[in-house]
Amino acid sequence: MELIIQGIIKAFELIISFDPEVMGITWLSLKISGTATFISLFFGVSIGAGVALTDFPGKRIVISLINTGMGLPPVVVGLFVTILIWRSGPLGFLEILYTPYAMIIAQAIIATPIVMGISLASIQSLPANLRLQILSLGASRLQMAWILIKESKLPLLAAVMAGFGGVISEVGASIMVGGNIKGYSRVLTTATVMETGKGNFDIAIALGIILLILAFLVNLLLTHVQQRQRLR
Amino acid sequence: MKIFKGSKWAITILVAAVLVVTGAANVFAAPQQKNIILATTTSTQDSGLLDVLIPIFEKETGYFVKTIAVGSGQAMAMGKKGEADVMLVHSPDAEKKFIEEGCGVNRRLVMHNDFIIVGPSADPAKIKGIKSSTEALKQIAKANGLFTSRGDNSGTHSQEKKLWKTAGITPGGQKWYQETGLGMGQTLNVTSEKKGYTLADRGTYLAMKKSLGLDILVEGDAALLNIYHVIEVNSSKWPKANARGAKAFADFMVSKKTQDIIKTFGVDKYGSPLFFPDAGKKVEDLGK
């Protein structure tokens, strides 16, 4: 118990004193996971909407695959990304292993199915007649898709939160493809693992608390946007 | 553009995301050609030594070092695939094999410290005071004392396996023998929680002592010497490896200035040095 209190005190010390290393780590976590979530949003929503709005043979299998992907184990993603981008791998010429870029790629792969699955379900849950109505008013298919995406913005913002929450708290893939390099690819989760390993539990707890606060603030912002839309 | 009307929220998110992406690009602009991948053991990172040395090296040479702290076994596995440029490791037998296979060149002695057998102060297997490390292991096995092993092919794990072999005991699969598969720091934490015994390098133990409920029970045996070498990856085998950077780092590790830092590293904090510099010495002369 004493240790937890010590950790909490340490967390506030680090935040209030604007500890440059901790601030750097926090900012980097936010940037990497934010970028990854943004990329996943692009692919997730477009493919999710595409699958939801078209009929093709094997659609159920595709949806099952997407839903399975929502639980994609980060370490497996990390392993495959590592093998693809290391020097002897097919994408080795890019030289991006152990960089924040590699972390963004891995995290985007983890978040995309989550965003995709939620967008797919939310667009499918819209009344079927709405589609016909929009089309009958003379909208093109692309315009229809955009209107439907807008209609389901509530669950879509939930998808952003789920995707972001999934990657900011992820450690397995980040440590494999990022390498936990000080001042360069060390993020909150990998730093927490390392400090625990070193026996610096107070700092580890402090980093954990900062991670929680960060996740809370981001979700607060997104929830604010989401709920404001609802009132209007 | 009619469809974008009233979609302020979408634009806000878009702008925010673009800001994040462009902001991110600044940080990532580290020079590619100047990167060195250093594969090393967990002990050099967990003890804090590299946190002191790497910034000095980077400032002097302009290289950017990507330190990947894994076990010595994994570090050399990375070297075998040309995924690392230089290795700082402590697993002499595996290192010799690594050089023989033509994977690495220019293996140079950097420093040493020693391994210790640690355990709970209550010492249920009664090994305190035993001089020989193999005798102590035999005693642990006989008393069914819990022993936690790294189990990760690291230098410490190789050393531990060698000791068990000398003792004539096959610990694998025994009830009292558990493998963590984790780094030295984590394994010490596990050992402390479970009140078990383990083989540790002195550097990591001293650095973590304050949070552990473990005492040094066996030390000073010649078989417990822990020797670190720096090896450059064979660039004729992997042209992509940064051979010049690797050589610069290896030269730095054995330079007089670095050796002096190693000599005093940890003295102010732990009262004794964590590593003893050995550049230019012969392995046979260590510990004398």
Give B171-196 pLDDT, tens digit per residue. Answer: 988 899 999 988 888 899 999 999 99
- How many angstroms separate the Cα of A172 from the Cα of each of A68, A167, A192, B119? 19, 10, 12, 30
Predicted local distance difference test score (pLDDT) of residue B46: 83
**Mean pLDDT taken over chain B:** 86
Alpha carbons within 13 angstroms on the beta-carbon side of residue B100 total 6
A138 to chain B, closest Cα gap in Å = 13
Q: Are B265 and B241 in contact (CB under 8 A)?
A: no
Are B54 and A38 a contacting pair at CB < 8 A? no
Nearest CA in chain A to B12: A225
Q: Do A143 and B185 lie within an 8 Å CB cutoff?
A: no
d(CA A209, CA A164): 17
**What type of residue is B181?**
G
Rounded distance, CA B109 to CA A143, Å?
A: 69
For the segment B27-52, the average pLDDT, to the nearest whole number, is: 78
pLDDT for position B258: 93
Dmax (CA) of chain B: 85
**pLDDT, tens digit, 9 for 90 and up, residues A97-106:** 999 999 999 9
Average pLDDT over residues B38-42: 91
Contacting residues for B92 by C-beta, under 8 A, at least 6 apart = B227, B229, B283
Contact B191, B208 (CB under 8 A): no
B138 closest CA partner among B118, B165, B120: B165
pLDDT at B2: 41
User: DSSP assignment, residue A125?
Assistant: T
Complex prediction ipTM: 0.78
3-state secondary structure of B229: strand
Of B10, B20, B64, the CB nearest to A38: B20
Alpha carbon distance B29, A165 (integer Å): 27
CA distance B80 to B96: 13
- Asked if the Cβ–Cβ distance from A200 to B188 is below 8 Å, we say no
Q: Do B35 and A184 touch (CB under 8 A)?
A: no
Task: Please choose, from the candidates A169, A164, A166, A170, the residue with its C-alpha nearest in 3D space to the C-alpha of residue A222.
Answer: A164
DSSP states of B106-168 as a string?
EEEEEEEEEEEEEE-TT-TT--TT---HHHHHHHHHHTT--EEE--S--HHHHHHHHHHHHHT
User: Does residue A141 belong to the interface with chain B, where contact is any CB pair within 8 Å?
Assistant: no
Q: Give chain B positions within 8 Å (CB) of A185.
A: 66
pLDDT score for A229:
64
Cα B255 to the center of its chain, rounded Å: 20
Q: Which residue has the tokens 């994040």?
A: B20
What structural domains and CATH numbers belong to chain B?
35-113+225-285 (3.40.190.10), 115-224 (3.40.190.10)
Split chain A (232 residues) into runs of 10 and give each run's mean pLDDT. 83 87 94 96 94 92 95 94 90 90 97 96 90 90 90 90 94 92 92 86 90 92 82 57
Q: What is the pLDDT of residues B67-88, one digit of tens each?
A: 999 888 889 999 998 889 999 9
Alpha-carbon gap, residue A47 to A42, rounded angstroms: 8
Q: Do A35 and B35 touch (CB under 8 A)?
A: no
Q: Looking at residue B231, what DSSP letter applies?
A: E
Q: Of B30, B47, B39, B43, which Cα lies nearest the Cα of B67?
A: B39
Q: Is A146 in Cβ contact with B3 (below 8 Å)?
A: yes
Q: Give all domains of chain A, ordered by start, each with its CATH number.
A: 2-231 (1.10.3720.10)
pLDDT digits (tens, 9 = 90+) for B46-64: 888 999 999 999 999 999 9
Rounded Cα distance between B277 and B87, Å, is 17
Residue A20 in contact with partner chain B when CB distance is under 8 A: no
Radius of gyration of chain A (CA): 20
Q: Report the residue from B3, B67, B185 with minimal CB separation from A199.
A: B185
